Structure 1
Amino acid sequence: MGRVSSCSELLLWHSDHARGANAHEFAWSGRLTPLQKKASEELLTSVEQNKSHLLHAVCGAGKTELLFLSIFRCLEQGKRVCVAAPRTDVILELFPRFQKVFPKTTIHALYGGAPDQEGFAELILSTTHQLYRFEKAFDVVFVDEADAFPYYADETLQRAVKKATKQEAAIHYVTATPTKSLQTTNQSVLSRRYHGHDLPVPRFDSLWGYARQLNKGKVPHKLQQWIEEKTKTNTPFLVFLPTIEMLENFPGDLPRVHAEHPDRKELVMQLREKKISGLLTTTILERGITIENVQVAVVGAEQKIFTSSALIQISGRVGRSFQYPDGDIVFFHHGISREMDKAQTAIEGWNRS
């Protein structure tokens, strides 16, 4: 949005909202599992009754597909719809998928650095920050990954979402790790992934003194072995690090990304296309990206930045496809934390349900 100060001129539109003239098309040919279909219909009922709904589903359950029917019905009725998320990466992941599903709908994707887009958008995909632009603009709003930082910790972002929504319109939430504040009367729970396989359970592996070794410019032996094994087998991988400083000072020439990295989108695409073997990353990639057969290591999993929710989301990057429903997720640590235990226990609990 650029800089906005108290002397900036802001314009509000007070007339009736424009309506798109498109005859919307629903071009999704996929099939929902019985659990997905039930949750999709429950969400649609809440949308039609204008009641807030929480879609609580494990990572990789196919949450996005569950929104399609509700969004299409709203578009058919001339309603304006917003799908919001705290992270730019989620919007970048969703945009091409929604364009394929709704090929005749004008869709805009709004995030920091997004290109100008023409026309009146009936469906907007937006970071929660970009919703400062709107006031009482949307008939229906879905907030994806509503427990993610910074949205859950920033009341101004939460107010921005409410301000962008029409006064009587309900807001619906989608996440694998909901906070207590997101609990609503209407909920759908999906405890299984769409392919029916168990969630990969993280394993714990000690990496004593990893911070000291990395500070000396040396990759700990176990971690080096893990990276070399994935590289030799041409298996894509992500290594999550707790700080930007540790990320930038990590020995070697592995590509690395963080929240302010200018080429983050391109590097993730290169990993998806197997043009690079792996990425070093901060928690910025804990959500919203799907890479086939990706394997994951968390270095310093005991550190405070890695909450149980973050660790569950990171673990959820693994085993998301039919072809590769399993995979390695390892928490390298200098002592096991309660958050690590909570994450592992929660994932094992989903597998038993």
Structure 2
Amino acid sequence: MMGRVSECSKIVRWAGPEPELEGDGTLCWNGKLSQGQQAASAAVRKAMAQQDELLVWAVCGAGKTEVLFQGIAEALQRKERVCIAAPRTDVVLELAPRLERVFPGLDIAALYGGSPDRHKYSPLTVSTTHQLFRFQEAFDVMIVDEVDAFPYSCDQPLQFAAEKARKPRSSLIYLTATPTRRWQEECRSERRKHVKIPARFHRHPLPVPQMAWCGRWPKALQKGKLPSRVADWLAIRLAQKKQALLFFPHIDEMQQALPLIQRLEPRTASVHAEDPDRQQKIMRMRQQELVLLLTTTILERGVTFPNADVAVIGAEEDIFTESALVQIAGRAGRSADFPHGEVTFFHFGRTRAMTRAIAHIEMMNKQGRERGLIDG
């Protein structure tokens, strides 16, 4: 495992026997998998045992992490090293504690920029994809979560790092709710091994976004006003005492909207990738100390707020791709206690990405009903 290096640094690779893996990999989880999760779990276990490659295509909120539990437990029992790689630190910080709870006998390594676990040798590692550059032929099982997400999806060196970190004989499991169009076609033509979970574990359909025209919203913000339809939407949520996530395409416009929304609800904050207090604000939202959270696409994945509605302001902007909009819509209705969240795309003009995202969600709901995975 490498530390920080510069161009002239010597790189040393250990050539001796592998250190003995320590810790009890016994799975301690009393949950029950849904029918869709059971099928996916069996496929994951088979791929890991046969050192094969597999795509798990599962809707947002399907319970992808739980699908991995039994396969990881069996790999650990075979004394194999397992790595779960995710594109963003937020996802690593959410995954690691969940895995620690179900594998209490393991000292799990969580690797991200500034992580204290940098030199920890563990049978189970949760890592950002950037941290995979530290490893070479280290893992028997490589799991890449949110494989379509930026920056992994468009960064060939990161993809190379994931390959380099695997042993020559190893399994590779991809997880995503939004495969690329090429991968979707490969799945349909059976050229890519995959298993699909088209429904959430709680058997309720995915919330289908509604589109709402809101005029020239950037000009309204510049004049110190919220678009009237956005203000009305917020008033309804506040009257219902519901939390809400509001996605903006750019930081500047989000910061223009922040004081306007704080007049309606002081318990409002904003977050973006460079915000040093991002993790604290996310925690405050989880603890319901915040009612409204404004965000860029940084929170399109990997976070769960049980009873939050979702709005996209300026859904016509290029940054809101089909994949991004599907993921953003997937923030609503995730909890079995609150499965009926609402999603609204506020726009100044409909785009192909918006209509495709809605069609994608409706397709998954249709397939979930056809397979008997959705009630009603």
Normalised to the residue count of structure 2, the TM-score between the two structures is 0.90
> After alignment, is 317-326 or 111-120 more displaced?
111-120
Deviation at 1:181, TM superposition (A): 4.8
Aligned to 1:329: 343
Aligned counterparts of 2:120 and 2:86: Cα–Cα separation in 1: 22
Select between 5-14 and 210-219 the one with higher mean Cα deviation: 5-14
With 265-274 and 114-123 compared, the bigger mean Cα shift is at 114-123
Aligned residue number for residue 241 of structure 1: 248
Describe how 1:333-344 pairs up with structure 2 within 5 A.
333-344=347-358
Report if the CA contact (8 A) 2:57-2:194 is conserved.
yes
Which secondary structure does the structure 1 equivalent of 2:12 belong to?
coil
- For residue 214 of structure 1, the aligned residue among 221, 237, 244 is 221
Identity among equivalent positions (%) equals: 45
Q: CA deviation at 1:161?
A: 0.6
List per-residue Cα deviations over 1:176-211 (Å, max 9, x = no partner): 111225856321111111011110000000010001
Q: Aligned residue for 1:311?
A: 325
User: What is residue 224 of structure 1 aligned with on the other side?
Assistant: 231
Structure 1 counterpart SS, 2:170? coil
1:67 corresponds to which residue? 68
Give the Cα–Cα distance (whole angstroms) in 2 for the partners of residues 105 and 48 of structure 1.
Answer: 21
Question: Which segment drifts farther, 244-253 or 68-77?
Answer: 244-253
The answer to whether the Cα contact below 8 Å between 1:218 and 1:251 also exists between their aligned partners in 2 is: no
For residue 93 of structure 1, report the CA deviation from its aligned partner. Answer: 1.2
Give TM-score scaled by structure 1 length: 0.96
User: Partner residue of 1:185?
Assistant: 192
CA contact (8 A) 2:272 2:296 kept: yes
Deviation at 1:170, TM superposition (A): 2.7
Match of 2:360 among 346, 350, 353: 346
Map of 2:272 onto structure 1:
258
The Cα shift of 1:342 comes to 0.1
Q: Distance in 2 between matches of 1:75 and 1:56?
A: 24
Aligned to 1:205: 212
Deviation at 1:136, TM superposition (A): 0.8
4+ long deviations beyond 6 Å:
none
What does 1:44-83 align with in structure 2 at a 5 Å threshold? Answer: 44-83=45-84
Q: Which moves more between the two structures, 267-276 or 245-254?
A: 245-254
* Letter of the 1:19 counterpart: E
Confirm or deny: 8 A CA contact 2:316 2:354 kept in the other structure.
yes
Equivalent pairs counted in the alignment come to 353
User: How far did residue 28 of structure 1 move?
Assistant: 0.7
Note the residue ranges of structure 2 that are not aligned, 5 or more in a row. 263-267, 368-376
Q: Deviations over 1:293-324 (max 9, x none)?
A: 11100001011100001000000011111111
RMSD: 1.6
Which ranges of structure 1 fall in alignment gaps of 5 or more residues? none
The amino acid across from 2:176 in the alignment is T
CA drift of 1:119 comes to 4.3
Q: What is residue 131 of structure 1 aligned with on the other side?
A: 132
Measure the CA separation in 2 of the matches of 1:311 and 1:234: 25
Change (3 A) 1:118 1:28: farther
- Deviation readout 1:30-87 (Å, 9 max, x if unpaired): 0011221111001111111111000001111111100001111011111010000111
User: Is 2:311 aligned against 1:297?
Assistant: yes
Shift of 1:231: 2.9
Q: Which residue of 2 aligns with 1:39?
A: 40
